[in-house]
């Protein structure tokens, strides 16, 4: 019982309060020899409310050259919400429990997607994508909005012991088919500043629905600050080769803490 209480205390979430933190994400996808890039710059501020927190995200700017890619449209839509901060309610452990004004926020996001400029083909695609977003169940909408902050919360990973190594399973992310799950190994080290460094390496051949097979390789890195329970850096690299065609995705997320 005492050990459990100590672990629960160690896992407490202690984000810096009232200070806007720089929150930058970017992704490069290469399909058929063409690389598409998009990125988003945001500020996130944590405030205390009761036993939990509110994470308020303000969008500053976004850039992309991803053409008609669905992810690019979604990212542009989020950037269009620069004048509408997104406030997410978190419990004491940092888990998202609710989104303030979720309905109005989702409507604004869908409207922004529907208004995206471009060629007739892209506008048609944007209109269809906006309609699909409007039709999503409420729980899925909440999960998508919650994903704005969820990757930054270390949770139990902040309790991992440096020097440990364990088998893990990871799921692929677009443009690599989502049905692909890889087995790999996660290793944990600690840097000179006491931050945890998590590295996952996984690879394998796996069948896909069209009857062919894919060779998939993944490397994932996380830098965690145990003092705050925040993930300061994310770097995911994944590639898949299907019938000789290679797709890759390279995702980076950084969160900058204030200098004490």
Q: 3-class secondary structure for the chain?
A: CHHHHHHHHHCCCCCCECCCEEEEEEEEEEECCEEEEEEEEEEEEEEEECCEEEEEEEEEEEEECCCCCHHHHHHHHHHCCCCCCEEEEECCCCCEEEECCHHHHHHHHHHHHHCCCCCHHHHHHHHHHHHHHHCCCHHHHHHHHHCCCHHHECHHHHHCCCCCEEEEEEECCCCCCCCCEEEEEEEEEECCCCCEEEEEEEEEEEECCCCCEEEEEEEEEEEEECCCCEEEEEEEEEEEEECCEEEEEEEEEEEECCCC
Pseudo-torsion of CA 68, 69, 72, 76, nearest 10°?
Answer: 40
Both 139 and 27 in one domain: the answer is yes
Q: Does 116 reside within a domain?
A: yes
Q: For residue 72, what pLDDT is reported?
A: 58
In a domain, 193, yes or no: yes
Per-residue pLDDT of the chain (260 residues; tens, 9 = 90+): 444 444 444 457 999 999 999 999 998 888 878 888 888 889 999 999 999 999 999 988 777 665 555 555 666 676 667 778 899 999 999 999 999 999 888 888 888 888 877 778 778 888 888 899 899 998 899 888 999 999 999 999 999 999 999 999 988 776 566 667 889 999 999 999 999 999 999 998 877 666 777 788 999 999 999 999 999 999 999 988 877 788 889 999 999 988 65
How many domains are there within the chain? 2
Same domain flag for 119 and 178 = no
Given 151, 175, 196, the domain boundary residue is: 151
pLDDT of residue 70: 58
Q: Examine the domain organization and report whether 129 and 182 are in the same domain.
A: no
Same domain, 169 and 60: no
Same domain, 187 and 242: yes
The strand order across the sheet containing 196-207 reads 96-99, 86-90, 52-64, 34-49, 21-31, 245-256, 230-242, 213-225, 196-207, 181-190, 165-171
Same domain, yes or no: 143 and 184 = no
* Domain end position, chosen among 85, 120, 151: 151
144 and 166 together in one domain: no
Q: Where a domain ends, among 151, 177, 198?
A: 151
The CA distance from 9 to 62, in Å, is 38
Taking CA 42 as the corner, what is the angle to CA 39 and CA 43, rounded to the nearest 5 degrees? 160
Quick one: 139 and 175 in the same domain? no
Q: Would you say 182 and 202 are in contact if contact means Cβ atoms under 8 Å apart?
A: yes
Tell me if 5 is assigned to some domain. Answer: no
In angstroms, the first-to-last Cα distance of the chain is: 35
Answer yes or no: is 2 within a domain.
no
Q: Are residues 29 and 107 in the same domain?
A: yes
**Tokens for 140?**
């899925």
Residue ranges making up the domain that contains 206 = 154-260
Residues 131 and 100 in one domain: yes
In 3D space, the residue among 177, 176, 224 whose CA is nearest the CA of residue 199 turns out to be 224
Residue-level pLDDT at 3? 42
pLDDT at 76: 62
255 in any annotated domain: yes
Q: How far apart are CA 112 and CA 23, in angstroms?
A: 22
Residues 142 and 91 in one domain: yes
1 within domain boundaries: no
């Amino acid at each position: 019982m005492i050990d459990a209480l100590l672990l629960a205390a160690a896992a407490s979430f202690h984000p810096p309060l009232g200070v806007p933190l720089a929150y930058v994400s970017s992704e490069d996808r290469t399909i058929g020899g063409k690389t598409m890039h998009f990125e988003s710059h945001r500020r996130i501020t944590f405030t205390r409310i009761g036993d939990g927190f509110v994470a308020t995200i303000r969008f500053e700017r976004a850039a992309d050259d991803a053409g008609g890619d669905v992810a690019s449209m979604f990212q542009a839509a989020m950037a269009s919400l620069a004048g509408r901060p997104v406030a997410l309610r978190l419990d004491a452990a940092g888990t998202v429990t609710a989104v303030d004004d979720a309905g109005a926020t989702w409507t604004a996001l869908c409207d922004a997607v529907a208004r995206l400029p471009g060629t007739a083909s892209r506008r048609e695609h944007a209109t269809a994508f906006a309609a699909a977003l409007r039709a999503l169940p409420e729980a899925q909408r909440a999960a998508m909005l919650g994903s704005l902050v969820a990757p930054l919360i270390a949770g139990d990973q902040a309790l991992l012991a440096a020097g440990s190594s364990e088998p893990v399973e990871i799921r692929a992310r677009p443009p690599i088919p989502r049905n692909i799950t890889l087995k790999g190994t996660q290793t944990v080290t600690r840097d000179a500043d006491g931050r945890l460094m998590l590295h996952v390496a996984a690879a394998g051949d796996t069948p896909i629905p069209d009857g062919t097979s894919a060779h998939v390789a993944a490397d994932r890195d996380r830098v965690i600050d145990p003092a705050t329970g925040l993930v300061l850096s994310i770097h995911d690299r994944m590639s898949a080769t299907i019938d000789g065609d290679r797709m890759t995705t390279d995702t980076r997320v950084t969160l900058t803490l204030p200098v004490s």
